């Protein structure tokens, strides 16, 4: 009983192992940079004040705030629609990665994973191209003047996607262990049922033999009594 079940488990485990399709992954980093225009200190007087224009978002939370806003903005439905319209996929991620010991110099990492290497590459590339426009739109909504806009740009070209088979070995091992455990349990139950049926049949056979023996003993006794009566006569 165990061997057939084990063979069936091995067959399905092989089917699960060979049926997993490869997944491709790639990512690109997007950096943020302040405007090149610098304010020149100008001495002002109460009668003639000088107002310096600044980036309110940067003043409120630094470049880190703008990086987080960009990561959220790249996941907006409007950006996803533009990426799909250009031939990419709406399945991607954008997260902020803070460089250690770099102060306020965070970067936004855009990544994607999928069954098509070309689809993954195009998706990440299209999202990265949307980064500067998205960041400019966020700042424009906050009323930041054009001369104080923080801009975004890809730090490198999108690398070729790397293929892999995530989780295939673990999935196959889980299926195999579960199948073998089920085979062991089924074998034990089957053996227990067979043993119980065998015992029941042996008991039934013994009962029949005992009944036949009793019947034979009764017949012999009657014959013995009949012979004895004839002898007396």
Same-domain check for residues 153 and 206: no
Is the pLDDT higher at 214 or at 177? 177
In the chain, the number of structural domains is 2
Same-domain check for residues 86 and 145: yes
Please report the DSSP string for 115-157 in residue order: S-HHHHHHHHHHHHHTHHHHHHHHHHHTT--GGG--EEEESSP
Q: What is the CATH number of the domain that holds 103?
A: 3.30.70.1130
Domain span holding position 173: 1-18+168-233
Same-domain check for residues 194 and 224: yes
DSSP label at 158?
Answer: P
pTM: 0.61
Same-domain check for residues 125 and 222: no
Distance CA 139, CA 192 (A): 75
Same-domain check for residues 149 and 91: yes
**Chain-centroid distance, C-alpha 168:** 12
- Tens of pLDDT, residue by residue over 141-200, are 999 998 899 999 999 999 999 987 655 555 555 655 565 555 555 565 656 666 667 666
- Tens of pLDDT, residue by residue over 27-81, are 999 999 888 766 555 555 566 555 667 888 888 888 889 999 999 999 999 999 9
Q: Residue 128 has what pLDDT?
A: 96
Q: How many of the other CB atoms lie within 10 Å of CB of 8?
A: 13
Same-domain check for residues 196 and 210: yes
Is the pLDDT higher at 124 or at 99? 124
Same-domain check for residues 106 and 205: no
Of 103, 102, 108, the residue nearest 27 (C-alpha)? 108
Query: Which of 133, 166, 199 corresponds to the end of one domain?
Result: 166
Question: Percentage of residues in the chain with pLDDT exceeding 90?
Answer: 39
Same-domain check for residues 150 and 53: yes
Same-domain check for residues 64 and 161: yes
Residue 2 pLDDT level (bands cut at 50, 70, 90): very low
pLDDT at 209 over 80: no
């Amino acid at each position: 009983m165990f061997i057939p079940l084990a063979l069936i488990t091995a067959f399905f485990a092989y089917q699960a192992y060979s049926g997993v399709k490869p997944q491709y992954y790639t990512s690109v980093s997007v950096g943020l940079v302040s405007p090149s225009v610098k304010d020149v200190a100008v001495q002002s007087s109460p009668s003639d004040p000088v107002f310096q224009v600044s980036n309110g978002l940067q003043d409120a939370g630094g470049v880190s705030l703008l990086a987080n806003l960009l990561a959220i903005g790249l996941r907006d439905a409007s950006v996803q629609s533009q990426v799909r319209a250009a031939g990419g996929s709406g399945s991607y991620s954008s997260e902020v990665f803070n460089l250690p010991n770099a102060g306020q110099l965070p970067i936004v990492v855009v990544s994607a994973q999928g069954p098509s290497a070309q689809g993954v590459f195009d998706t990440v590339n299209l999202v990265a191209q949307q980064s500067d426009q998205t960041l400019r739109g966020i700042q424009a909504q906050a009323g930041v003047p054009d001369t104080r806009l923080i801009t975004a740009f890809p730090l490198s070209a999108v690398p070729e996607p790397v293929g892999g088979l995530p989780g295939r070995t673990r999935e196959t091992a889980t299926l195999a262990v579960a199948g073998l455990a089920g085979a062991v349990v089924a074998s034990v139950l089957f053996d227990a049922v067979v043993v119980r049926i065998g015992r029941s049949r042996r008991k039934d056979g013994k009962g029949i033999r005992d009944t036949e023996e009793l019947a034979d003993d009764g017949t012999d006794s009657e014959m013995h009594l009949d012979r004895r009566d004839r002898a007396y006569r």
